Structure 1
Amino acid sequence: MEEGEIIIGLEIHCQLNTKSKLFCGCSTDFRDNEPNTHTCPDCLGLPGSMPRLNKQAVMYALKVAKALNCTIREDSEFSRKNYFYPDLNKGFQITQHDKPLAEWGKLLIDGDNGEKEIRITRIHIEEDPGRSVHMGTTDRGKYTLVDYNRAGIPLIEIVTEPDLRSPKEARKFLNKLRATLEYLNVFDSEKEGSLRVDANISHRGFARVEVKNISSYKGVEKALTFEITRQRNLLRRGQTVARETRHFVEARGVTTSSRSKEEENDYRYFPDPDLPPIRVASWVDGILLPELPDARRERFISQYGISPEHSKTLTGGLKLAEFYESVAMEDPGLAATWTADYLLGELNYRDFSIDAMPAELFKELLTLVKNSAITDKSAVEILRIILDAVKEGKNPERPQEIVTRLGLAKTSGDQITIAIQEVIAEQKAAVEDYHAGKMPALNFLVGQVMKKCRGRADPGNLNSLLKEILDKKA
């Protein structure tokens, strides 16, 4: 078998951040509460109950559709999707099928070969089912419990065309989509289960496999990578790739067979008789979009004069972009470098969000670096001390307090000169090598001086001063 082109399409389920459920008044703030305490006859679908549509959920969905350049239908309708599963308490899910809210949009990403347009097939509104809690892993659990607190939470499902060609592109698309949704303020990415992904993947010309309910951005890349390898190995051995639905077991990094793939007619869709069509023409013009990631990226470049790479990183999430703007005023370039290159690395290492870093302390640290009061090495040490205190639940010290306590102030010019003279006297062989034109000797001597200064000398200034003194002794 020749290596076939990878074809990937995504179905993204996003929980809208409304205060009440899609068709009833039950609170959506259930995550710290006991199972089955946020339910009512309406969201449980008990006899005699009637759904009442949450207008705020529709407005949020329209906002997303507008941001993704979709064509919004003048009228859309709800359907019943019929299937049996323990967490589907009604025996059907209220969703949109024949007439979705919006169709044919796009989102630009940095693809494997440059900028790439990913087409959006449709965006529709639906209710979330309940949650199955498996006692053990999905495929090996002894029994399953069901929590209906989540039943009826408003979702939008965003379906892409099969335009993605690698797991890396899929992850980039999800990151860009997540950022866009955050900027729109329609969902909370930090809530468990707020964004779930079903991925359809195949080698061109062979059967398509659906991988269901991937719950993390990293998980999407891992699941797709595993599935590509699994399918490729089957094809190389001359076996058939079955058209099926598979489940991603994140703890083991594998996909397992769940069931044969359903066709649309298996769900017996029909218009929901209890819900009239939605007509939104008069609502759309009143929806104003905020500054979105691409627009803010361009503004950062023009307003702050930072590099496109830094701007792209710093606009990758709303909170990160807002954090940068809160610390950027005194020296935007320095703030961009330290936020994108240093702070994010330390946060990722600790699995922290940007909220973990107090902006006031970071601004104080930047001021110390800008004024050459400390070296970059000392600044990184201070940054780590602050974040480690946050991780331990302590109130972090101010940067200047840490500098004073640990003696991290940059070594003065006179102290550096004294250290250079001492090293020259102690390392005569290296000095002779330098004068003989052996340049590695200079790096060795710089290292020895830095040792004496306990790393608190500016490397650039030290290098110049050491060369000047050595050349005078030639």
Structure 2
Amino acid sequence: MTTTIGLEIHVQLATQTKMFCGCSTAFGDEPNTHVCPVCLGLPGALPTLNAQAVRLAVRIATALGCTVHEVSEFSRKNYFYPDLPKSYQITQFDHPIATGGSLPIVTEQGARSVRLTRAHIEEDAGKSMHAADITLGGETLVDFNRCGMPLVEIVTEPDMQSSDEAYEFLRNLRRLVRWLGVSSGDMEKGVMRCDVNVSVSPDPAKLGTKVEIKNLNSFRSVKRAVDYEEQRQAQCIADGTPIMMESRHFDEVQGTTTAMRSKEASNDYRYFPEPDLPLLQLDPTELESVRAQIPELPWEMQSRFERDLGLSPYDAALLTEERSTAEFFQQTIALYDNPKKLASYMETEVAKLLNERDKTLTETQLTPATLAGLLTMVESNVISNTASKDVLPLLVDTGTTPTEAVRSLGLEQVSDTSAIEGFAREVIAENVTQVEQFKSGKEAVLGFLVGQLMKKSKGKANPKFAGEILRILLK
């Protein structure tokens, strides 16, 4: 059996106002408070195109390697549904803003690119809330705040063969839109949603019947829905049961898909050019400006970190997941030339503190200079690595310098050999059993004795000197 998968991803663009009116795009406010005659489709209301939404769409299309067309056209997609008050959606059909392009993915099967068919601009519909979602006494309520939200829809070619590839594509696309600052990519807030097309065929040379799974809102849901649908269609083929071309709903609780309706064809939507909007014509000079401003992309930076800094693929991927983290790392490495040590420290100690505070790096007082200073103090034996974990919270929360933080906490490392020798003699006298074990050949006991010495010095003794002095005295 051969599985073929294509994706249609709706990405909400990070603008302050909607696609065709001045209503706010703020999330989580009271239902039906961000509405006006335009997004409610009242008679006589005329749309006005959001220029910033167009710029952001061009930015993502350019980063994806699409051909951005200087002239594109808006169309009306006609259908009746309670959350679409106009009974049509303004979108792009025959002449989208961008075509072609690709996105790289890496799975256990290796690295490859997934081709894109198109990227086009459109407005979102509202949100229907059914009794299955909230307690409404069997009713369905509609929130029109989402009506008119600016979207870019990205459609892939049927290039994927597994749920892992679909999962990785979505993960990398979200990474990109966040990197570019065009969208938050928060699937839990509906900012990024996905329809999945799945077909299974017994003949690798032929595509099976395409089945669409609608409105998946998490990476995990996409993976589970594809896995289930792949098994369902394979079973239908084995049983000789026809597979219907239809739209299906994924049940998060049961982990199954169920039929919603037969799949519409484009002529069912009666597309025609939007009469209230002129052709969208882009300035070639502005297009060049957008191309020039595209930053180094996350997978490009990841490869450079591996190639030039000797980082592992895991570390490089983790550091380039968010642009702010990657830029912080680069600025710090210019001041502290030990990429592997810095990567390890950021992924463990710094990440732990950020998780505890539920903050990003940009929301703290930590700077590349203060982190570089802290790690330099560890490397110079001014403080121990253990002590640095007590210093770091002060740098994150107050923005003080490493020197001031170490002084205020009294954590300067003791490297005076005579002072360390005094601690060592006390430890030897107090741990006779362990001393005898060491002398009988149990080298591992030395670690215990060093630990006792560090306790006596309140963590200030240089652990390297402590081990050396203990070893000399014990012999």
Q: Same fold (TM over 0.5)?
A: yes
Letter in 1 for 2:287: V
1:378 is matched with 387
Contact 1:223 1:255 in 2 (8 A): no
With structure 1 as the length reference, what TM-score do the two structures score?
0.80
1:100 is matched with 96
Over residues 29-57 of structure 1, what are the superposed CA-to-partner deviations in whole Å (9 max), with x where a residue is unaligned? 43364332332222222222232333332
2:15 is matched with 18
Alpha-carbon distance in 1 for matches of 2:296, 2:96: 24
Corresponding residue SS for 1:213: strand
1:151 is matched with 147
Task: Provide structure 2 residue ranges, at least 5 long, that are not aligned to the other structure.
Answer: 203-207
Letter in 1 for 2:223: L
Alpha-carbon distance in 2 for matches of 1:97, 1:342: 50
Alpha-carbon distance in 2 for matches of 1:453, 1:258: 69
- 1:22-421 counterparts in 2 under 5 A? 22-24=19-21, 26-31=22-27, 33-134=29-130, 137=133, 142-189=138-185, 192-205=189-202, 208-215=210-217, 219-225=218-224, 227-229=226-228, 231-232=230-231, 235=234, 244-248=246-250, 252=253, 254-257=255-258, 259-265=260-266, 266-280=268-282, 282=284, 283-287=286-290, 288-293=292-297, 294-297=299-302, 305=309, 307=311, 309=313, 310-333=315-338, 334-348=341-355, 352-360=359-367, 362=371, 365-383=374-392, 408-414=411-417, 415-421=419-425
Note closer, same or farther for the CA distance 1:286–1:350 as it changes in structure 2 (3 Å cut): closer
Contact 1:211 1:246 in 2 (8 A): yes
Note closer, same or farther for the CA distance 1:357–1:429 as it changes in structure 2 (3 Å cut): same
Contact 2:19 2:50 in 1 (8 A): yes
* CA positional deviation for 1:436: 3.8
Alpha-carbon distance in 2 for matches of 1:138, 1:11: 27
Letter in 2 for 1:108: P
Corresponding residue SS for 1:64: helix
* CA positional deviation for 1:127: 0.7
Task: Provide structure 1 residue ranges, at least 5 long, that are not aligned to the other structure.
Answer: none
Corresponding residue SS for 2:122: strand
Contact 1:222 1:253 in 2 (8 A): no
Contact 2:118 2:155 in 1 (8 A): yes
Alpha-carbon distance in 1 for matches of 2:226, 2:454: 51
Alpha-carbon distance in 2 for matches of 1:64, 1:58: 10
Alpha-carbon distance in 2 for matches of 1:208, 1:456: 67
* CA positional deviation for 1:317: 1.6
Corresponding residue SS for 2:100: strand
My pick for the range that moved more, 41-50 or 4-13, is 4-13
Over residues 63-86 of structure 1, what are the superposed CA-to-partner deviations in whole Å (9 max), with x where a residue is unaligned? 222211112335332222222222
* CA positional deviation for 1:142: 3.3
Corresponding residue to 1:423 among 408, 423, 427:
427
- 1:459-474 counterparts in 2 under 5 A? 459-470=463-474, 473=475
Note closer, same or farther for the CA distance 1:275–1:105 as it changes in structure 2 (3 Å cut): same
When the two chains are superposed, the root-mean-square deviation of aligned CA atoms in Å is 3.7
Contact 2:225 2:250 in 1 (8 A): no
Note closer, same or farther for the CA distance 1:336–1:255 as it changes in structure 2 (3 Å cut): same
Over residues 92-146 of structure 1, what are the superposed CA-to-partner deviations in whole Å (9 max), with x where a residue is unaligned? 1111122222111012232323322121121011111122244552799733322
With structure 2 as the length reference, what TM-score do the two structures score?
0.80
My pick for the range that moved more, 37-46 or 441-450, is 441-450
My pick for the range that moved more, 71-80 or 448-457, is 448-457
Contact 1:170 1:221 in 2 (8 A): no
Note closer, same or farther for the CA distance 1:41–1:141 as it changes in structure 2 (3 Å cut): same
Contact 1:167 1:220 in 2 (8 A): no
Alpha-carbon distance in 1 for matches of 2:216, 2:57: 22
Alpha-carbon distance in 2 for matches of 1:247, 1:448: 62
Aligned pair count?
456
Over residues 224-243 of structure 1, what are the superposed CA-to-partner deviations in whole Å (9 max), with x where a residue is unaligned? 13541465378569666765
* CA positional deviation for 1:190: 6.1
Over residues 156-202 of structure 1, what are the superposed CA-to-partner deviations in whole Å (9 max), with x where a residue is unaligned? 00112233344444343333323332343323446943322223345
Contact 2:77 2:88 in 1 (8 A): yes
Contact 2:365 2:395 in 1 (8 A): no
Letter in 2 for 1:292: E
Alpha-carbon distance in 2 for matches of 1:77, 1:285: 21
Note closer, same or farther for the CA distance 1:308–1:148 as it changes in structure 2 (3 Å cut): same
* CA positional deviation for 1:450: 4.2
Letter in 2 for 1:232: Q
Letter in 2 for 1:419: F
